[in-house]
Structure 1
Amino acid sequence: MLAVMAEGSSLTARIPYPPAINRISGQAIVHTSPRPQSQVTMGGGPTSPFDLRSLLTPEFLASLVRARLPYDPRTPMDFSEFGRSIFLTDPISPSVKTTIWRVLKKLSTIGLEHMPDLTLYLPAPTDPAYPEQTLGLLLLLDHFPRLMFRGVDQRWTYGYFSHLSRRVARAWHALPPAQRPDSWARWQQMGAGLDYWIAVRFWMGTPFVHSERAEDQEVALLFTEETRAAVEMVSGMTDPYRAERGQILADLYGFPRVYKAGPPQGDGVTREGWTFWMGMLMDVHKPMIDRFGRYPYLNSMLAREGTPEEEVWVAKTEHFGEADEETKRRIQEDVKHGRWTPLGEGSHGQRIHVLS
């Protein structure tokens, strides 16, 4: 079985890389923070056999941000199109997916207990390239498996890559506020406008929303409130969902209902309206964790036995997000025998959903 590495484990050396390119200015970014060019070691132990420098390059991570946020960071965004690209269409080109698949496949062969600290393949937190590079790594681990994996492969999304994305998210969130890669001030320094920053915040918050840990849900709640408050301050508007906040945070069936209804669409979608809707969507995940301590619809993906109350939830939501019967059977067999079907050998069935 693949065990989760202790959260305190880390590598001792940051990975040396050539300069990355600032996609906003188009200029090469000179890394100013010292990064020792020593070998990657785990907790002072022997050299790790899993050197990922040729895969997790600055160019690759930046390309993931461009693929998921193909907008001019300095100009207003079409939030109707942004929502459509997340929930209703698949805008990622086959060539980009091929490269992503190669990297995810390699990561899947390492095992959680042997995985190097992936944050050390990023620039130092004080480096100007750190925000975009961190976003690229989060997209790789948290978003693209949800977008690309099908069938038995979906176990890798929720039972493996979600653990990795959580480690990265917890690491950057623990930084001093001025160094955090979600900082509005840092993205302003890079030349990004408020619209682009809102999109960045959406993707950087999803690992906390996706987590089944209560402490991460509290982080998600505060994170979403920070985004909401910033937009309220700039626009002078008040999020209309504030009046329903008590109901939202108690609505056990809210997420499936909101997800099925889809994002705001049409010419009338504004930056503020989309942000307030997004905040509500993020918040409405929490009641499930508060009640069940986990997402009931992931039980089938992880071969977990549902409780009677969870089974009622699944039935009332018309089996929202559940795996098909063949996928459930194969995952149960794998778990029973202490094995994982190799990534890529279990892709069948239909897309479940993207967000969680």
Structure 2
Amino acid sequence: MGQKPATPPSPWPDLDNLLTPTLFTHLTTSRLPYTRNTPINFSHFGRDIFLADPFSPLVKDAAWPALLAISKYPLEKLPDLHERYLPSPSDDSYPEQCLGLLLLLDNLPRLLFKGIDARWTFDFFDHIAQRVVHSCIGLPEELRPDSWGRWRDRLGAGMDYWVGVRFWFGVVLVHSEKRSDQELGVMYTEETRRVVEEANGQIDPWREKREVVLSDVTMFPREFRQGPPQGQEVTREEWVFWAGMLMDCHRPVVERFGRYPWLNAITGRASTEEEEEYLDKIRHFAEVGEAARARVRRDLDDGRWSPLGIDSL
């Protein structure tokens, strides 16, 4: 009998060793450190996202090698991370694993990358994260990793935990500079909002200001700076309605400018006169400093990327 043909070596052995279920589970359970079926204090939830960072110190040692390994490949040479490194969408571990992968690609670069390394967040990892989220939410409803019915009926989660899950899926959409993703993001937050409204019979008060939320280009920087609801006991509804507003008010910026002007410096783009006036108006919200801007320009002029980790390790 003839021998079986040898299995060809993997083109991505480093990724195969690092992008593991153990890593993805670690990221999800560290980002959402709650029992799935018990109430969450949303004052603490919002604080730990916008006012503090207890997450990245817990996962940095495990996540950095994976991020560095991914950065070694051009976008066009990377495998489909959703297909290669996640279980079948029908598997009960899939929702948690999918969220872990998205946290690695979207949330952690924003927390870990400093200076010129931030270019990797917006010009590289964001593109990968957006590919993954489209694969996830493009599945049939019963297979989607962000579905309320699936988390409730198959995974034993309460609505509080699911609200946390939905937040981390939704931010990937609103981080995109594509108008189509912004439209999808608005629909996504509306789905979450309606589930929560129907559960408690409470209507989102931001509905009365819907026209402003979807038209005011200065609202996102202003509301972000003010921060999430805080107090002794922020309810699930207060959190969802505030977070939905914050996500939705990304859209007018991309509608007006076709991009986020505050990312022009870190991506090496020249700002238009209108964008410069806008950046002055919002007090240069989220812009990198002149030193990082100049280094990005030099890299672009030289047709290169400064290796990831120069300013962050």
Fold shared by both chains (TM-score > 0.5): yes
Measured at CA, do residues 314 and 287 of structure 1 come closer, stay the same or move farther in structure 2, by a change above 3 Å? same
Indicate the residue corresponding to 1:291 in structure 2. Answer: 256
2:246 to 281, 286, 296: 281
Deviation at 1:319, TM superposition (A): 0.8
Q: Identity, % of aligned pairs?
A: 51
Q: How does 1:330-341 map to 2 (within 5 A)?
A: 330-341=295-306
- AA aligned to 2:11 is P
- AA aligned to 2:115 is G
Deviation at 1:93, TM superposition (A): 5.6
Indicate the residue corresponding to 1:187 in structure 2. Answer: 151
Alpha-carbon separation, structure 2, partners of 1:130 and 1:49 = 24
Deviations 1:167-220 (A, max 9, x none): 001111211111111001111121110000000000011111000001111110
Deviations 1:256-290 (A, max 9, x none): 00000000001141110111000000000000011
Query: 5+ unaligned residues in a row in structure 1: which ranges?
Result: 1-37, 40-45, 349-356
Alpha-carbon separation, structure 2, partners of 1:205 and 1:301 = 23
Measured at CA, do residues 294 and 48 of structure 1 come closer, stay the same or move farther in structure 2, by a change above 3 Å? farther
Q: Normalising by the residue count of structure 1, what TM-score does the alignment of the two structures yield?
A: 0.83
Q: How does 1:254-333 map to 2 (within 5 A)?
A: 254-333=219-298
Equivalenced residue count is 305
Indicate the residue corresponding to 1:123 in structure 2. Answer: 87
Q: Secondary structure at the match of 1:158?
A: helix
The reply on whether 1:89 has 2:52 as its aligned counterpart is yes
Indicate the residue corresponding to 2:3 in structure 1. Answer: none
- AA aligned to 2:39 is P
1:216 to 176, 181, 186: 181
Deviations 1:282-320 (A, max 9, x none): 000000011000000000010001111111110001111
- AA aligned to 1:217 is Q
- AA aligned to 1:206 is V
Structure 1 residue ranges (4+ consecutive) displaced by more than 3 angstroms after TM superposition: none
Indicate the residue corresponding to 2:70 in structure 1. Answer: 107
* Conservation of the 8 A alpha-carbon contact between 2:56 and 2:108: no
Measured at CA, do residues 93 and 286 of structure 1 come closer, stay the same or move farther in structure 2, by a change above 3 Å? closer
1:201 to 166, 180, 205: 166
The reply on whether 1:154 has 2:118 as its aligned counterpart is yes
Deviation at 1:124, TM superposition (A): 0.8
- AA aligned to 1:170 is H
Indicate the residue corresponding to 2:25 in structure 1. Answer: 62
The reply on whether 1:140 has 2:116 as its aligned counterpart is no
Alpha-carbon separation, structure 2, partners of 1:274 and 1:257 = 17
* Conservation of the 8 A alpha-carbon contact between 2:112 and 2:312: no
Deviations 1:212-259 (A, max 9, x none): 001111110010000000000001000000010011100110000000
Measured at CA, do residues 95 and 200 of structure 1 come closer, stay the same or move farther in structure 2, by a change above 3 Å? closer
Q: Secondary structure at the match of 2:266?
A: coil
Deviation at 1:53, TM superposition (A): 2.2
Measured at CA, do residues 167 and 93 of structure 1 come closer, stay the same or move farther in structure 2, by a change above 3 Å? closer
Alpha-carbon separation, structure 1, partners of 2:56 and 2:245 = 30
* Conservation of the 8 A alpha-carbon contact between 1:50 and 1:110: no
Deviates more, 1:96-105 or 1:152-161: 96-105
Indicate the residue corresponding to 1:32 in structure 2. Answer: none
* Conservation of the 8 A alpha-carbon contact between 2:47 and 2:228: yes
* Conservation of the 8 A alpha-carbon contact between 2:214 and 2:249: yes
The reply on whether 1:166 has 2:130 as its aligned counterpart is yes
Q: Secondary structure at the match of 2:33?
A: coil
Alpha-carbon separation, structure 1, partners of 2:207 and 2:278 = 26
Alpha-carbon separation, structure 2, partners of 1:180 and 1:92 = 25
Q: How does 1:218-233 map to 2 (within 5 A)?
A: 218-233=183-198
Alpha-carbon separation, structure 2, partners of 1:130 and 1:95 = 22
Deviation at 1:48, TM superposition (A): 5.2
Alpha-carbon separation, structure 2, partners of 1:213 and 1:115 = 21
Q: How does 1:227-246 map to 2 (within 5 A)?
A: 227-246=192-211
Q: Secondary structure at the match of 2:265?
A: coil
Deviation at 1:81, TM superposition (A): 0.3
Deviation at 1:99, TM superposition (A): 1.2
Instruction: Please provide the CA RMSD for this pair.
Output: 1.4
Q: Normalising by the residue count of structure 2, what TM-score does the alignment of the two structures yield?
A: 0.95
Alpha-carbon separation, structure 2, partners of 1:323 and 1:48 = 38
Alpha-carbon separation, structure 2, partners of 1:95 and 1:242 = 37
Q: Secondary structure at the match of 2:180?
A: helix
Deviation at 1:92, TM superposition (A): 2.3
- AA aligned to 1:162 is D
The structure in which a higher percent of residues are helix is 2
Deviation at 1:154, TM superposition (A): 0.1
